[in-house]
Chain A
Amino acid sequence: MAASRRRSTKAQTDTAPAQAVSSEELLHYYREMLLIRRFEEKAGQLYGMGLIGGFCHLYIGQEAVVVGVQAALKQGDTVITSYRDHGHMLACGMEAKGVMAELTGRIGGYSKGKGGSMHMFSREKNFYGGHGIVGGQVPLGTGLAFAHKYLNDGGVSAVYCGDGAINQGQVYESFNMAALWKLPVLFVIENNKYAMGTSQERASAGELHQRGAAYGIPGYQVNGMDVLEVKEAADKWVNYIREGNGPVILEMKTYRYRGHSMSDPAKYRTKEEVEKMRSESDPIDQLKSKLLAGGHADEDKLKEIDRAVKAIVTESAEFAQQSPEPDPSELWTDILVET
């Protein structure tokens, strides 16, 4: 049954959504994607200066996915992802300063410098991490969906994972329970084609969006390089989920320009492949063209947004260096809730 429901959501995107979506919304997506891009570039730079340590996985190239999906969520919905998480935090409305200061391991970071790039959370913004074990966030996010249903709060859980995580067994344990109990969960597979250095072709049999078919979970492939196509698909399926129909899988075809982490030279793909994606499919450039062609904004307006975004990122980098390191006493806090 599920196989017959396979359907591409690509069709009308070039014309229909551009008309349906207001200029204000389009500019919002542009700003959000640009903020993530500039933030990540700055994070890469600070890493290069030794200010950020350990693992640091940048989201550059994938911005349309999280910005499009978040645009379809409502206040009270919950979000969880893996360790390539900076973009998700910014899209959830978490402050760039707090995220950057966490990357530099300072007290002003969201986890007081104790979590780092892979482990940040915000109860206020309903962002539940930031998880470092590949696939681990999928049952956790299914549990958030369970809580939405148990509490009958009308919320939806958005669970992001990559094309690498999709081969972990616990993902299928989660699919099974989510379908069995009709939990309000949107599984977003961010397929950037490479699980670290292993391409999808070398790691995954079959189509990823069909991975829920045996459980009767509808699954669709979406052009994850186009924020409007992402938004359109997310809108449709988040509503379907919110109406109590159970989980949906959206496979976002996307691409990361940088290595898996900062120390990955990305020799497993050609420069031409990366260059082709950047020049032909960049999510920010595509939206910029649409904004200009559709008369939603002029160059001056976009430059103004660029400057505003740059100011936020510069401020976050300054804050991230000025905020003190955590006091040694922080070693011993937050291990247990005191009773």
Chain B
Amino acid sequence: MPIEVLMPALSPTMTEGKLAKWVKKEGDTVKSGDVLAEIETDKATMEVEAVDEGRVGKILVPEGTDNVAVNTPIAVLLEEGEDESALSKGGNAPAVAAPANAAPASEETKAAPSAVQAPAPAPTVPAAPASAPDSDEDKFFAKTVKKTVREALRDAMAEEMRRDEKVFVMGEEVAQYQGAYKVTQGLLQEFGERRVIDTPITEIGFAGLGVGASFKGLKPIVEFMTFNFAMQAIDHIINSAAKTLYMSGGQMGSPIVFRGPNGAAARVAAQHSQCYASWYAHCPGLKVVSPWSAADAKGLLKAAIRDPNPVVFLENEILYGQSFEVPEDEEFVLPIGKAKIERAGKDVTITAFSIMVGHALAAAEELAKEGIDAEVINLRTIRPLDTATIVNSVKKTNRLVSVEEGWPFAGIGSEMCALMMEQAFDYLDAPVARVAGLDVPMPYAANLEKLALPQVADIVKAAKQACYR
């Protein structure tokens, strides 16, 4: 049966082109790989190679023809043993049947390679992330011990490393130096150098290495000395860790934790003082967690290590030395995706995460003196955001103040505004207020740095405005 040669698409955007030149003429023999013709696309002149073997029986589109639509038959090839009489028979089989929308047939689905699974039923409309189970944390607080955030993080890692041989920690100065901020203190002594690994200063290298190891089923905890340095590694956090599960059709995920201090420390200026919450929270495929208290730090880090997904775990250097009550029970694990109402109130809702939770609670005390009863929500997880807790709170208070240390533009506060528009518009009695870091690189001078970061007074002022006071 003669084979039709079709006008090829030679770029992702080409719909038609010019048949510039026939390199083969009627009667010529053709082997696969031979150049048949030259075609001008929207971008360049390209050579078209034959895929099938045979003899050029007839050229259907003469050279020099403009605007030949993709998939138009341009020539007919005769197969071995055929002569020109075959051309008149009609019904030429195109080299490959035109695709269009091949009808889905159950038989064909069954013929899928074994590596590929049938699609699982899924919602047909975008749904908000399923709400995480309620936290059962209260029962664990019956028996607590005072710990610093630093100790709580270390305990979380140590407990999970005892529990699962596949968990290991790597990063700069995590082993012999005992952690640049002493978060990994004692881990080398207990777990040895196989599982507590000092890396060179090589962020994209060890982040990528960690992701590769996680593809094979290990559960790396990758410590960045600070998240400022993770900008070197962000390609692997997003392109490799966050997207591979999707790109592989669910075959290969990345159970990994990227952790380290985030945001401003003190007087370390612009390159070392930045909040990455909204950067990572932008990306599907990642979970983003940012604890405030030592209990948060312990319960959430344990959850992050156990989670089969990549988790970006944003700590805060200033909080490392602060002490909080932490449950003693090793089974104290907090759910990712669940916020915590740290202080109940009825007049205004204040959302915050990380170090700003402390500021928000201090602001609430100030507001109480003026007769304003603020509800403070510790977000704990940025992605997936616990929208239900926030919306339910605003339904009660009718006012929202979002607090974050990062820049305002496209920040977490912007997301709060969108959330209110979409899910709580009718409940709002005042515009949503954003308290954020100023829209400037972090200055070094002590007075300027203080001005650039949200202070308790800024939160008080915003909350009073929201209450028209």
Give chain A's interface residues, CB within 8 Å of chain B: 38, 41-42, 44-51, 53-55, 60, 78, 80, 94-95, 97-98, 101, 104, 107-115, 119-125, 128-133, 136, 138-148, 150-151, 169-170, 173-174, 176-177, 180, 257, 259, 262-263, 265, 267, 278, 317-319, 321-337, 339
When the two chains form their complex, are residues B245 and A335 in contact, meaning their CB atoms are under 8 A apart?
Answer: yes
Whether B214 pairs with A136 at a CB distance below 8 angstroms is no
Q: Is B355 an interface residue (CB 8 A)?
A: no
B248→A111 contact, CB < 8 A:
yes
Collect the chain A residues with CB atoms within 8 Å of residue B122's CB: 327, 329-333
Residue of B nearest to A328 (CB): B124
Binds A, one of B84-92, B232-240, B294-302: B232-240
Report whether A334 and B246 are in contact in the complex, using a CB–CB cutoff of 8 Å.
yes
Residue among B6, B48, B115, B214 with most chain A CB within 10 A: B115
| Beta-carbon contact of A327 and B119 below 8 Å | yes
- B206 touching A324 by the CB < 8 A rule? no
Query: B61 on the interface (CB 8 Å rule)?
Result: no
Cα(A336)–Cα(B253), bound, Å: 8
Provide 12 A-B residue pairs closer than 8 Å at the C-beta atoms, listed in order of the A residue. Answer: A48-B48, A94-B113, A95-B115, A112-B250, A121-B251, A123-B252, A129-B247, A136-B240, A144-B212, A146-B209, A317-B96, A322-B108
Nearest A residue to B195 via CB reads A150
Interface flags for B93-136 (1: CB within 8 Å of A; 0: not) read 00111110111110011011111111111111011000000000
Q: Which residue of B lies closest to A107 (CB)?
A: B119
Residue of A nearest to B208 (CB): A139
Across-interface contacts of A139 in B (CB, < 8 A): 204-209, 211-212, 236
The residues of B that contact A101 with a CB separation of less than 8 Å are 112-113
Q: Are A94 and B115 in contact (CB under 8 A)?
A: yes
Decide yes or no whether B142 CB sits under 8 A from chain A.
no
Specify which chain B residues have a CB less than 8 angstroms from the CB of A169 in the assembled complex.
204
A257 to B32, CA, bound (A): 13
Q: With A and B bound together, what is the CA distance between A170 and B265 in angstroms?
A: 28
Partner of B99, one of A51, A107, A124: A51
Interface size in chain B (residues, C-beta < 8 A): 91
Beyond A136-B239, A139-B204, is A128–B212 a contact (Cβ under 8 Å)? yes
Q: Which residues on the A side are within 8 Å of B102 (C-beta)?
A: 321-324
Option from A94, A150, A317, A339 in Cβ contact (under 8 Å) with B308? A339
Report yes or no: B240 in contact with A140, Cβ–Cβ below 8 A.
yes
B residues within 8 A CB of A321? Answer: 96-97, 99, 102
Is B202's CB within 8 Å of the partner chain A?
yes
Are B214 and A49 in contact, with the CB atoms below 8 A?
Answer: no
B248 touches which of A54, A78, A119, A176 (Cβ 8 Å): A119
Other A-B pairs beyond A41-B51, A98-B113, A98-B115, 15, CB < 8 Å: A45-B95, A49-B99, A107-B112, A108-B108, A110-B248, A112-B119, A139-B207, A139-B208, A143-B208, A170-B208, A177-B209, A323-B102, A335-B246, A336-B245, A336-B285
Residues of B with C-beta under 8 A to A124:
115
Residue of A whose beta carbon sits closest to that of B104: A324
Question: Which of B14, B112, B209 lies in contact with A108, CB distance below 8 A?
Answer: B112
CB proximity to A under 8 Å, residues B382-409: none
Task: Compute how far the CA of A60 lies from the CA of B51 in the bound complex, rounded to whole angstroms.
Answer: 12
Q: How far is the CA of A322 from the CA of B111 in the complex (A)?
A: 10
Partner of B96, one of A49, A113, A337: A49
- Would A49 and B116 be within 8 Å (CB), given that A78-B216, A139-B236, A143-B212 are in contact? no
Please, how many angstroms separate the alpha-carbon atoms of A60 and B214 in the complex? 32
The answer to whether B101 and A138 touch across the interface, beta carbons within 8 angstroms, is no
Main secondary structure of the interface of B (DSSP, over half): loop
Pairwise interchain contact B119-A330, C-beta atoms closer than 8 A:
yes
**In the bound complex, CA of A120 to CA of B244 (Å):** 9
Nearest-Cβ distance from residue B21 to partner chain A, whole angstroms: 14
B189 close to A (CB within 8 Å) = no
Residues of chain B with a CB closer than 8 A to A109's CB: 116, 249
Of A48, A110, A267, which one neighbours B44 at CB under 8 angstroms? A267
Q: How far is the CB of B271 from chain A (nearest CB, A)?
A: 19
Question: Could you mark each residue 263-298 of chain B with 1 if its beta carbon is under 8 Å from any beta carbon of chain A, else 0?
Answer: 000000000000000000000110100000000000
On whether the beta carbons of B116 and A263 are closer than 8 Å, the reply is: no
Asked whether A177 lies within 8 Å of B206 as measured between CB atoms, the reply is yes
Q: Which residues of B contact A108 (CB under 8 A)?
A: 108-109, 111-113, 116
Nearest 9 CB-CB pairs, A to B?
A: A143-B212, A48-B8, A139-B208, A173-B205, A324-B104, A263-B11, A140-B212, A98-B113, A112-B249
Picked from B47, B98, B212, B307, the residue with its CB within 8 Å of the CB of A49 is: B98
Q: Are the C-beta atoms of A140 and B248 separated by less than 8 Å?
A: no
A142 touching B200 by the CB < 8 A rule?
no
Q: Which of these, A80, A133, A335, contacts B212 with CB under 8 Å? A: A80
- B208 and A140 form a contact (CB under 8 A): yes
Residues A133 and B285 in contact in the complex (CB < 8 Å), given A123-B252, A323-B109, A333-B250: no
Q: Are A136 and B236 in contact (CB under 8 A)?
A: yes
Which chain A residues lie closer than 8 Å to B239 at the CB level? Answer: 131-133, 136
Residue contact A47 to B9, C-beta cutoff 8 Å: yes
Inter-chain CA distance A322–B44, complex, in Å, is: 32
A50 CA to B43 CA in the complex, in Å? 16
B12 in contact with A55 (CB, 8 Å)? yes
The answer to whether B51 and A44 have CB atoms under 8 Å apart is yes
User: Would you call A339 and B307 a contact (CB within 8 A)?
Assistant: yes
Is B57 part of the binding interface, using a Cβ–Cβ cutoff of 8 Å?
Answer: no
| Set A112, A147, A322: member contacting B217, Cβ < 8 A | A147
